[in-house]
Amino acid sequence: MKSSAMRDLMALTEREDVISLAGGLPDTSTFPPDSYASLMRTIAAESCARALQYAPTEGLSLVKRCVAEVMSAEGTEVDPAEVLITTGGQQVIDLMCKTVIDPGDVIVAEAPTYPGAVPTFSSYQADVVQVRMDRDGMRVDELEVTLDELERAGRRPKFIYTVPNFHNPAGVTMSLERRRELVRIAQERELLVLEDNPYGLLRYESEPLPTLLSLDGGNFVVYASTFSKILSPGMRLGWTVAPRPVLEKMNIGKQASDLCSSSLSQYFVAAYFQSGPWRDYVRSLIEIYRRRRDVMLDALAEHYPREAEWTHPQGGLFIWATLPDYIDTTDLLARALEQRVAFVPGRAAYVDGRGGSSMRLNFSGVGENDIREGIRRIGEVVREQVALYGTLTGAKPTTASSRADQAPGYAEAGNPGSDPVPRAPDSELAKILRLPAPRKRTG
């Protein structure tokens, strides 16, 4: 379990008067209430008793066909029979651990990794080994080194956990080459990969890349996704596609956990997909989120000091910003909360206390004005801390006026050349996801 200090701080981020860039919330306010009412009427008229009844553990066939449709839209064809409907994508992570993890088993994850997976891994007492990322996603060369080291120690990971598209929290996307490499490694070493792809359809630029599942052909990749980001997290519906033996065990695990996912939600999703416009709704979300991302990137360029760096996500919900290593973002959050703004301290995305100078910023859950104002407020407290450190050490802080003529300090992830945004040199890019150096101790 994560530290109580961070939990206590995070509890304050939920207050109404706080602009929270800490959540991972999609914007559900644009879903038309009329459509909601009409879908519920359809359910009442056509499947009332069934919607109020238990569902099969593996989920309704109707919904599995919706899953196949969504995955096809991302270029991955699946047989609905290979799908297990789950209670959110989060349950796939839980079921995967339940199925294969014994206390002390190794899970390899990215560094940073999805903060919501950390407590799940911890609760199964897994030993999480984190492999660094760069602009192209997980460093597969480091993955191989890590796997070799583990092998020499007589340890074999139970699975490799990755979020290849628009990583949460890092905001980067795994390149095609890396995807192929990762699948090759998994096949050669006969290792399971849990591909967590909640945001794949929320792409704001560049062309989609094939899923690991499609590259692997379903031998070693367990795929997880969700309706949360393309329809509603309130439905609590996700799914997994997995090799048959794993899928069967997950099914048994799910029976033990919750028997089935909500029938009512499943009928809602089925009715919604039958009504037609799900792709239009996703397109409308993409427009909203793309604008919000751009507003946040502009605000970061305007308000963060030169010493800060951040990623440029091609999709998804998050930007990952890294500050100078003398600023601890858990402490900084206390000061930010005074200014009624919140973010997720980077340490939440690591199992070993790293990430102390980074922060995750969400741009999907709040409106454009709040994003501008939130980033302005965080920028102000960061500048204060940078200036204070400068006075303590004699280092000169960057002033607002000297900042104005700098190129924005961000870097886009993947696919260079197709993108009009300014780009920092590669050496700068490499630093964006660097591991914070240990504090120097001298004298």
Partner 1 sequence: MSRVAVLKGGRSLERQVSLRSGARVEEALERLGHDVISIDVGPDLVERLSADPPDVAFIALHGRDGEDGTVQELLEVMGIPYTGSGVSACIRAADKVLAKHAMRDRDIPTPDFYAFNETAFRELGAGAALPAIEERLRFPIVVKPAGQGSALGIKFARTPADVPTALVAAFSYDRKVLLERHVIGRDLAVSILDDDGSARALPIVEAVPREEDFYDFESRYEIGRTTFLCPAELPEPIAERTASLALEVYELIGCTGFARVDIMLEEGTDELYVLELNPIPGLTETSLLPQAADAAGIGFDELVGRILERAGEGG
Q: Which helix (DSSP H) or strand (DSSP E) does residue 320 occupy?
A: strand 318-322
DSSP helix/strand/coil, 311: strand
From residue 406 to residue 425, the character string flagging contacts with partner 1 as x (rule: CB under 8 A) and all else as - is --------------------
With CB under 8 A as the contact rule, the residue among 176, 337, 424, 435 that binds partner 1 is 337
Q: Which is nearer to partner 1, 142 or 328 (CB)?
A: 328
- The full 3-state SS of 224-290, as one line of letters, equals EEECCCCCCHHHCCEEEECCHHHHHHHHHHHHHHHCCCCHHHHHHHHHHHHHCCHHHHHHHHHHHHH
With CB under 8 A as the contact rule, the residue among 49, 153, 392, 404 that binds partner 1 is 392
441 binds partner 1 (CB under 8 A): yes
Please report how close the Cβ of residue 407 comes to partner 1 at its closest, in angstroms.
27
With CB under 8 A as the contact rule, the residue among 34, 103, 393, 437 that binds partner 1 is 393
Q: Which is nearer to partner 1, 29 or 442 (CB)?
A: 442
389 binds partner 1 (CB under 8 A): yes
Window 79-138: residues binding partner 1 (CB under 8 A): none
Please report how close the Cβ of residue 55 comes to partner 1 at its closest, in angstroms.
36
- Give me the DSSP letters along 328-393: -HHHHHHHHHHTTEE-EEGGGG-SSS--TTEEEEE-SSS-HHHHHHHHHHHHHHHHHHHHHHHHHH
Please report how close the Cβ of residue 356 comes to partner 1 at its closest, in angstroms.
10
Please report how close the Cβ of residue 313 comes to partner 1 at its closest, in angstroms.
27
Window 3-32: residues binding partner 1 (CB under 8 A): 3-5, 7-9, 11-12, 15
- Tell me how far apart the 2 most distant CA atoms of the chain are, in Å: 77
399 binds partner 1 (CB under 8 A): no
- Give me the DSSP letters along 182-211: HHHHHHHHT-EEEEE-SSTT-B-SS-----
For the record, the structure tokens of 428 come out as 């700068």
Number of residues that bind partner 1 (CB under 8 A): 31
Q: Which is nearer to partner 1, 225 or 357 (CB)?
A: 357
Please report how close the Cβ of residue 322 comes to partner 1 at its closest, in angstroms.
16
Please report how close the Cβ of residue 438 comes to partner 1 at its closest, in angstroms.
12
Please report how close the Cβ of residue 257 comes to partner 1 at its closest, in angstroms.
25
Rounded Cα gap, residues 193 and 241, in angstroms: 12
156 binds partner 1 (CB under 8 A): no
From residue 297 to residue 336, the character string flagging contacts with partner 1 as x (rule: CB under 8 A) and all else as - is -----------------------------xxx--xxxxx-
For the record, the structure tokens of 388 come out as 């204070």
Q: Is the peptide bond before 169 cis (omega within 30 degrees of 0)?
A: yes
Whether the Cβ atoms of residue 151 and residue 189 lie closer than 8 Å to each other: no
In sequence order, the 6+-apart residues with CB closer than 8 A to the CB of 26 are 228, 229, 232, 233, 285, 317, 364, 365
Binding site for partner 1 (CB under 8 A): 3-5, 7-9, 11-12, 15, 326-328, 331-335, 337, 385, 387-389, 391-394, 439-443
